[in-house]
Each structure stands twice: as C-alpha cells, then as structure tokens.
Structure 1
Amino acid sequence: MQQSPRAASNPNTVGNWLINIIWIIFWAAVSFAALDVFGSTVTYILLPILFIGTILIWMFTSRRDRLNNLDEEEKQS
C-alpha cells in the first residue's frame, strides 16, 4: 500500500524521537556545565545562541530529508 505524500514527507519514527530526546538531555547538561564554568552572564547569552543554532540545523536537515523522500517517491512512480 502506498503512503500519501504527506505521510511520506513527515516521518515520525522512533529514531527521530530518540535523537530529539538525546539533544534535550545534551543541552540540559551543557546548560548546567556552562553555568558552573562561565558564570551566569556568558551562559545566558551564549546558550540561547547555541540552542537556536541547533534548532536551525535540525530544521534544515529534516527539510532536506523530506525533500529526499519526495524525490525518491517521484523516481519510483
């Protein structure tokens, strides 16, 4: 049975959830470590920049994966 284009372009796999949970744990650990090492001023400026950077990387890579899935689906049809 073929998937709809929407289902094919939005993969909700266990792997994606696991990677997201690992990133959340990673950023929590980095936050506590940076607070101890650098102090509050640097931490409150640097961590949001790093966090937003991670979100942008995740958005662009997931978009790339969706486009690759759509390209593969077009080749199969």
Structure 2
Amino acid sequence: MANLKRKQIYLDGESDRALKRLAFATKISESEHIRRAVKKYVAMQKGKMPEEDPIWQLIGLCDKPDGPTDASIHHDRYLYGKQV
C-alpha cells in the first residue's frame, strides 16, 4: 500500500451509518471510501486554490527537524518576511 498518513476526522451519526453501510455493501473499507472521496473532492477544487499564495509555504514547515517552533505566533515573518 502507498505511504499513508493517519488523519482523525469526526462524522455526524447519519454520515457514519451511511459510510458503514456503504463499506459493508461494497466490501471496501471505510478508510478507502474516505480516501476516494477526498481525492475526488480535491480534484474538483483544482483551480480554486491560489497556488501562489504564500500561506501554502507553511504546510509542512514545522514538520522539518530544523523548522521553526514559533510559526503559529510569527507566521507573518515566515510568510512575508515582516517583523511584527
């Protein structure tokens, strides 16, 4: 299987029951249905997210071993080089 990342989500009761029924009926795991739905949704959103926006540079920034530990406080500094 591909390199999967763990995510935690919350579903309302109706969505949870529907997902369980779908997984049972199709013999495909709930997780696989969620992955497929996310992939389809993201594909539909292409072109709606401004890729040039510096905010996207923050994604994964703090996961780096030498990444900043104060990015949530001083995000403008990391995005725009501004001293706030």
TM-score, normalising length: structure 2: 0.30
**Structure showing greater relative contact order (alpha-carbon pairs closer than 8 Å, 6 or more residues apart):** 1
Higher fraction of helix: 1
